[in-house]
Structures are given as C-alpha cells and as structure tokens.
Chains A and B, each alone.
Chain A
C-alpha cells in the first residue's frame, strides 16, 4: 500500500486540498449558521423560513441534516473539483508518467490514488460534521436553547453524506482521466454539477421523460438521498425518490465512474 501512502503524502501537502476544504467549511458555516443566525436576530425575515424552522435547522440534534444538505450541489462541486484537479493535473505535470513507471501495476497505482482521495474526502465530511456541530452548539448556547446532541440517526445522514461525496469524487476522477487534464475536467464537472442538471430540471417540468431522468442523474440522485435523510432547505436537495433508490443509483455511479476511470487508466497508452 505504498501507493496510498505516496498519494496521501502528496495530497496532504498540496495547498489546493486545504484551500478547497477550507472554502467548503467557510461556505457551510456561512450558509448553515451565520446567515440563519443573523436572520433570527432581527434580520427582516423575508424568506419563507419561519422562526421555528430556522431554530430547528440550527439545533445540534439536526446537525446530520445540516451536513448532508450541502453536499448534493455545492459541496459536491467542491469535492468534484478536488478529485478532477488531483487526477487531471498529473498529466500536465508528468507525474502520472513517474507514477506508472515507479513499480506497482497500474491498477495498484490507481487504487492508491482512489484510496488517498477517499481518505481526504472522508476527512472533509468529518470536518464538516465537527464544524457544524461546533457551530450549532455555539448558536444554541448563545441563544439559551434547550439543546441535545444528535441521536443515532445522525449516522444515517453521515452515511448518506459519504455516499454522495464518494459519487462526486468518482465523477471528478473519471473526468480527470477522460480529459487527461485539470482544466477541462473541472470546467465540465462544474458545468454539470451546477448548471446542466438544473437546466434539465427546468426542461423536465415541461417534458415528462426528461423529468424522470433528472431524478436519477448524479446530482439528482444525490439530492434525493439528501432529502430522504432529512436534508432540506438547500439548493439541489430533492424529495422525488426513496432513500434506498437514490442510494442504489449513487452506488451505481460510484462503480461506473471508478470502474471506467480505472479501466481507461490501465488500458490507455500514456504519452
């Protein structure tokens, strides 16, 4: 498992890893707590969220939902960018050439990359949880609410978060390998995660078949899983599918993306 160690070492010391994780944590704090807190305390509450909903969203016991709702779209986009950059930039830097001539077979090299990315993404989800939990406890204490720690249900939300994160990671890896570079991979990935699926959902309201399709696309499945485990009130969260169905689709995407990327990596000439 020298390949995992090697890849982890280089991801760990990569500024981009920490910049992206940092940006995500700031985003989740800002949109999950800072704005809600301000809205609760004297901001003109123009949005449809009632006071009660705002309080509920920030309660420590609902931290699982707070973690998972950010991942279908914006969190997913950040994870996708991280994976696409990590894999795609190796072509331009020539590091894939170095990696594939180091010794381990290509499957192992690829497994090392996936394993290390997996560890980084698990860390990202764990940090999101810790930061959200800290923020929710801070808000609850400041406001003097009666609060309690989340119950065991939180693991369901965290499991869903990990599955959603895994899908976006696989998507990013796939794009990085297919486009053999960071720029196109990131561009296409962001376009897909933030623009294309939303446009399709817009079309879907007019055309039935497109609508059913959008539910099971990568972002759609992620949104539905997030909705099924209690996430709500964030862009990209949907409630059109059961949690199990959405989870199965996500699992399918992980297998397809990772499988296709590995297949290409193993079979294709590296020039």
Chain B
C-alpha cells in the first residue's frame, strides 16, 4: 500500500470536514479522489502531506507518518494550484524547489522536459498562462522522481485542450508505472484516467472501488415507436418521458428484438450517468 488512512478526521469547530475517511492507494495505480466542491478532498490531501494535522484518525504515506522528511521526499505534490514565486522564471522556481529537495540541475531540466516547458522555462512565472503554471506545478511535483504523485484537481481552470494535455501527461506517467493520487470533481476525467476511485461527499468516503463498479451496471436509453410496444417487449425497461431505460449491455440484441417486432428504433445509446446522479444514488443509499 502506498497510502492508507484509518478513520482520518478533521474538524473545524463542530463541523467534520473530513469524517472518518479510510482509504487506500495501491502501488502503480492511478487513484481518483472524486467529490464535489467542498467535499473535503483538499483537506484530506493536506493531511496526507502534513500541512494539516488530523483531529483524529491516522494516515500512512509510503509507510511513514505524513509530513516527515522521509514521507515528503518520496512524494511529489500539487495542491490547490501551484505555489511559485511570481518574479522568478519557471526554471529558477524549479531550482529553488530542487535545492530544498536535494535534486540537482539535471533533475530540473528533466522535469521541464517531462511537462514540455523547456521553451518557456526562462520566462517569469507571473507571465505564464494558467496551463503553463499548472504544468510547472506538475514539474515541481516530479522533481526527485517521487514514488507517489499527489495532484489536487490538476485540470482546474484549464481549457479543454489544456485539460486533455494534463490527462495525457498523467496517463503517460501512469504508463511508466507512476503511482498517482488525483483528485477531481469531474467523473469523466476520473473515468478516463483512473484505475480506482474513492468517492467523497460531505467529508465521508461513500465508495471506494474500480471505475467500472462505480458506474454501476450501465443502462441503455432507447427511443422507439411505438414506445408502449417496445416497453412491453423489453423486459425490465422503465419509461422516462419519451424514452425507455434498461439495464442491458448488448444493444444489438435489443435492437434485433424490436425490429423483428416491427418497432421503429429511433435512438439507442448508453445512458451516461452524470456525477450528480451517481452521488444522489450513493448518498441516498448511504
């Protein structure tokens, strides 16, 4: 296990912002830490890095207590946006960070290379675009080849192209065996790049599973004419407005059944549950 937490709790006043969270991140996986705004993701991550002390419960990072040099030197992190000196160039910012981490010049250049910032490394951080700032943050996290990379909403504020770039970067790192803990409030993002997911809402970890399991049995949406006839033909289907929903993976079989019965099939598509729906279901069930 790379990260384990045991009933990790943080209270501000009488409000439990992180409430008995027990999660685990395994070596080599990309772990998605999924939750809406204010769910407690950043607070949990801060506790894993020793920035915030837990009110109760405990955490282990690479077998060490969070925030100790032994833990920190093996973890690279980007929490709630990059924190750099605005008047220094990207490269100088990395040099400063590298000096603290005991990493040399070659490490700095390698990190710049990895995030594709070599060309802009001499420019002042202040003048960087949001995407460049975020990539520099990842570069800083990569310094010293950490065993665990913690990225807190790394695509926050990026445009679609920037988001795609960031996801590609994480995927590339994962392909090299890098363990990543990535927080997000976007189900699509987590689905795309994560192996396992922990879902947090209002401070509580309400699910921890693979992405497949999280999405649950997929449903199909079917629009057909006449709808009533289709509804009768397809066992277990439910009517939602002018469409049917059915828990079934094989669209081909359904379409053949309907067409054979002379029903016009206008639309068949997988019904993507939104994050909201997943949450409502989970919090409702909990």
Do the two chains bind? yes
A residues with a Cβ closer than 8 A to B are 2-3, 5-7, 9-10, 13-15, 93-105, 109, 112, 269-271
Contact between B84 and A93, CB atoms less than 8 A apart: yes
B51 an interface residue at 8 Å Cβ cutoff? yes
Q: Is the CB of A10 within 8 A of B96?
A: yes
How many angstroms from the CA of A9 to the CA of B94 in the assembled complex? 11
Q: Given the known inter-chain contacts A2-B99, A6-B99, A103-B102, please indicate yes or no for A98 contacting B83, CB distance below 8 A.
A: yes
A104 and B100 contact, CB distance less than 8 A: yes
Which residues of B sit under 8 angstroms from A103, Cβ to Cβ? 69, 72-73, 100-102
A2 touches B53 (CB 8 A): no
Task: Tell yes or no: B4 within 8 A of A by CB.
Answer: no
The A interface, classified by DSSP as helix, strand, loop or mixed, is helix
Contact in complex: B83, A269 (CB < 8 Å):
no
Given the interface pairs A103-B73, A103-B101, the reply to whether A97 lies near B51 with Cβ below 8 Å is yes
Chain B interface, >50% SS class = loop
Beta-carbon contact of A14 and B85 below 8 Å: yes
A271 touches B69 (CB 8 A): no
Q: Could you tell me how many residues of chain B have their Cβ less than 8 Å away from some Cβ of chain A?
A: 31
Q: How far is the CA of A100 from the CA of B66 in the complex (A)?
A: 12
Min CB distance, A2 to chain B, in Å?
Answer: 5
How many residue pairs link A and B with beta carbons under 8 A? The number is 84
For the complex formed, measure the closest distance between the CB of B85 and the CB atoms of chain A, giving whole angstroms.
5
Nearest neighbor of A267 in chain B, beta-carbon distance: B53
> Interface readout for B97-115 with A: 1 if CB under 8 Å, 0 if not?
1011110000000000000
Known: A104-B69, A105-B68. A269 touches B53 (CB 8 A): yes
User: Which of chain B's residues has its CB closest to A270's CB?
Assistant: B51
- Which 4 residue pairs are nearest across A and B when measured between Cβ atoms? A94-B83, A6-B99, A102-B100, A98-B83
Please measure, in the bound complex, the distance between the C-alpha atom of A112 and the C-alpha atom of B92, giving whole angstroms: 17
Assess whether B79 is interfacial by the CB under 8 Å rule.
yes
Could you tell me if B95 and A9 are in contact, using CB atoms closer than 8 angstroms?
yes
Question: Which one of A5, A6, A100, A104 lies within 8 Å of B51 (CB-CB)?
Answer: A100
Are A6 and B97 also in contact (CB < 8 A) when A102-B72, A103-B72, A270-B51 are?
A: yes
- 9 A/B residue pairs, CB under 8 Å, sorted by A: A2-B99, A6-B100, A13-B87, A97-B83, A98-B97, A100-B50, A103-B72, A103-B73, A112-B100
Please indicate the chain A residues that have their CB under 8 angstroms from the CB of B92 in the complex. Answer: 9-10, 13
Question: Per a CB cutoff under 8 Å, which of A5, A102, A271 touches B52?
Answer: A271
